[in-house]
Amino acid sequence: MKKVLTMMEEELKQAFADSGYEDRFAKVVLSNRPDLCEYQCNGAMAAAKAYKKKPIDIANDVAERLKGSAIFSMAEAVMPGFINLKIREDFAAEYLNTMAGDSRLGLDLAVPAETIMVDYGGANVAKPLHIGHLRSAVIGESIKRMGRALGHTMIGDVHLGDWGLQMGLIIEELRDRRPDLIYFDESYQGEYPSEPPFTISELEEIYPAASAKSKQDEAFKERAQNATYKLQNGYRPYRAIWKHIMAVSLADLKKNYASLNVEFDLWKGESDAQPYIPGLIDDLVQKGLAYESQGALVVDIGEPGDAKELPPCIVRKSDGAALYATSDLATIIEREKDFHPDRYIYIADKRQDLHFTQVFRVAKKAGIVPEDRPMTFLGFGTMNGKDGKPFKTRDGGVMRLEQLIASIDEKVFERIMENRTVSEEEARETAKIVGLAALKYGDLSNQAAKDYIFDIDRFISFEGNTGPYILYTIVRIKSILNKYRENGGDASLAGILPPASESEKGLALQLMKYNEIMETSFGELAPHKICQYIYELSNEFNRFYHDTKILSEEDKERQAGYVALITLTMAVLTACIGVLGIEAPERM
């Protein structure tokens, strides 16, 4: 369905052209004087320079032509040359009814639909999933859902860090604790047990212990590096331990991501890319791109337009080990082979910016992907505590995700119990849904690249630009609709009627922006724009709700019109929270 802004611009273009001006001046924007108009066109100012005329004269010419327009109830030229615009009420009603009658609420499918690889999550196996990975999961899930809503084929890959030094550390720590394990008996030739020698809680304790030890004990660290090297070169007993680590950790990760409502299409990891590394290195050398520098193998990535000199990408260390960048390049080879994506989007901490610049440039230089293939890195900022420093637990440790979620749920639960309209059991269930929404919305409502303050009290507030406020609005509409039905209301009496009050018009205008907001938010990879939109939509709804008697309206047709309007409001809000990866409870 055509966007309202486009429709308005088409009319203005015609009016500019008919008045003898170029139609490129016909840009329509949201009004910055909502007291005077709803939209405005400032093109007469620019046209004035081109035509050496007074802006107001041009504005008058154009406004004159818009009289009798099917879209505008008002087109008024005001000094020094603005064209103030208002939308016709019957046009608004017609537009909204078309939206309401469409299962996609007027959202067009993207043409052409693309296959887009979204690399997000990025948890590291055997290390606890902590809040550092929260942002990637939450933002990535939303980007994926946004693209899907627009009809793209989105492939979400968790790209686990499952091939690093943490594996060697765990192996050596395990050896110190339990030297009698069969994996450490070099003479053993048989099959290895299928049961893991540790549980997830043991594993979670082993890794931090090993990591701490390696910082004090140089010999231990060397052993761990050596074990990692042996594992990566296929040493059978360590492969067996690695498989156990993978199985135990993956089950836990899946549980964690599921509790966040984050779903991946692919559960691949760095280890899956390893078979492509030798070929990659050969190719880089053969193409003359990789060369030796201080024993390492590197590829220059500098380009003429660079503001500062960028360091080369190291693809092999002097000890022969592959690196993070090597894994990422090899992964692209695999993705090209399996999916041949039209586009790549990576979501990780913004401090990885250089890494991705290096990877993308090498990938293109080496022809792994064509030069014009979009590869985007969406780098996000840090989640800070109220002290402005990276978020920590009270004792200074890194907060575990499970812990974080539990503490939010508890607070929301207390909130809900304050009103005590539902059973404790229902309150617990609702708190889970609302708590997750508070957490995700608290994250998504910020521009991704910015650091933000994790302020639990603000996030769980039922007022302001928060998840609970949006959910509360949806629940409120649900409850009105339920009561309307219980009272025997007949919604088929009317569709959405031309708005008759200011607040009704405000709600209508905000609803009409839906398709445009979805497209821009995805185009800019900016979930916070959806948040801002539904925050304003909720405000408009609540304003309307406060000055309109819906359930006690005597005029049944009028009432059915309201019901149609708020039904659409609920549908739009629900669609929007859906792409944010948030759900609404029945009651709260």
Other Cβ atoms closer than 10 A to 414: 12
Q: Cβ-count burial of 390 within 10 angstroms (0-12 exposed, 13-18 middle, 19+ buried)?
A: middle
Given 122, 156, 495, 506, the residue binding ligand ARG (CB under 6 A): 122
In 3D space, the residue among 57, 12, 21 whose CA is nearest the CA of residue 39 turns out to be 12
Residue whose CB is less far from ligand ARG, 129 or 530: 129
CA distance 96 to 102: 10
Max distance between CA atoms of the chain, in angstroms, equals 95
Residue whose CB is less far from ligand ARG, 355 or 513: 355
Residue 155: which region, alpha, beta or left (left: phi > 0; alpha: psi -120 to 50)? beta
Given 86, 135, 152, 159, the residue binding ligand ARG (CB under 6 A): 159
Q: How far is the CB of 140 from ligand ARG (least distance, A)?
A: 10
Tokens, residue 304: 């003429």
Residue whose CB is less far from ligand ARG, 115 or 421: 115
- CA 331 to centroid of chain Cα atoms: 22
Contact window for ligand ARG (CB under 6 A) among 4-12, 55-63, 119-127, 393-401: 119-127
Residue whose CB is less far from ligand ARG, 138 or 433: 138
Residue whose CB is less far from ligand ARG, 296 or 329: 329
Residue whose CB is less far from ligand ARG, 55 or 122: 122
Q: How far is the CB of 169 from ligand ARG (least distance, A)?
A: 15
Given 161, 197, 467, 527, the residue binding ligand ARG (CB under 6 A): 161
Residue whose CB is less far from ligand ARG, 198 or 346: 346
Residue with tokens 């099917």: 70
CA distance 4 to 30: 11
Q: How far is the CB of 272 from ligand ARG (least distance, A)?
A: 12
Q: How far is the CB of 348 from ligand ARG (least distance, A)?
A: 4
Q: Is 272 in the site for ligand ARG (CB under 6 A)?
A: no
Given 69, 124, 326, 548, the residue binding ligand ARG (CB under 6 A): 124
Q: Is 168 in the site for ligand ARG (CB under 6 A)?
A: no
Subset of 20-49 contacting ligand ARG (CB under 6 A): none
Residue whose CB is less far from ligand ARG, 13 or 133: 133
Contact window for ligand ARG (CB under 6 A) among 116-124, 145-153, 184-192, 486-494: 116-124
Residue whose CB is less far from ligand ARG, 346 or 469: 346
Helices marked H in 233-276: 236-259, 270-273
Residue 83 DSSP SS3: strand
Q: Is 268 in the site for ligand ARG (CB under 6 A)?
A: no
Given 61, 252, 328, 540, the residue binding ligand ARG (CB under 6 A): 328
Given 61, 119, 173, 504, the residue binding ligand ARG (CB under 6 A): 119
Q: How many residues bind ligand ARG (CB under 6 A)?
A: 8
CA distance 81 to 63: 11
Q: How far is the CB of 400 from ligand ARG (least distance, A)?
A: 15
Residue whose CB is less far from ligand ARG, 40 or 142: 142
Q: How far is the CB of 132 from ligand ARG (least distance, A)?
A: 7
DSSP symbols for 418-461: HH--S-HHHHHHHHHHHHHHHHHHHHHTS-TTS-EE--HHHHT-
H helix and E strand count, the chain:
21, 13
Q: How far is the CB of 441 from ligand ARG (least distance, A)?
A: 24
- Residues 138, 520, 375, CA angle at the centre, nearest 5°? 65
Q: Are strands 343-349 and 452-453 parallel, antiparallel or unpaired?
A: unpaired
Q: What would the x/- binding string for ligand ARG be over residues 343 to 382, using CB under 6 A?
A: ---x-x----------------------------------
Element (H, E) at 381: none
CA distance 448 to 526: 7
Other Cβ atoms closer than 10 A to 238: 21
Q: How far is the CB of 159 from ligand ARG (least distance, A)?
A: 4
Q: How many residues does the chain have?
A: 588
Q: Which residues contact 85 (CB under 8 A, 6 or more apart)?
A: 8, 28, 31, 37, 38, 39, 40, 41, 72, 74, 75, 76
Residue whose CB is less far from ligand ARG, 269 or 468: 269
Helix axis angle for 200-216 and 218-232, nearest 10°, is: 120
Q: Is 252 in the site for ligand ARG (CB under 6 A)?
A: no
Nearest residue to ligand ARG by CB is 122
Amino acid at 308: K
Contact window for ligand ARG (CB under 6 A) among 117-125, 231-239, 282-290, 299-307: 117-125
Q: How far is the CB of 376 from ligand ARG (least distance, A)?
A: 12
CA distance 362 to 383: 31
Q: Which residues bind ligand ARG (CB under 6 A)?
A: 119, 122, 124, 159, 161, 328, 346, 348
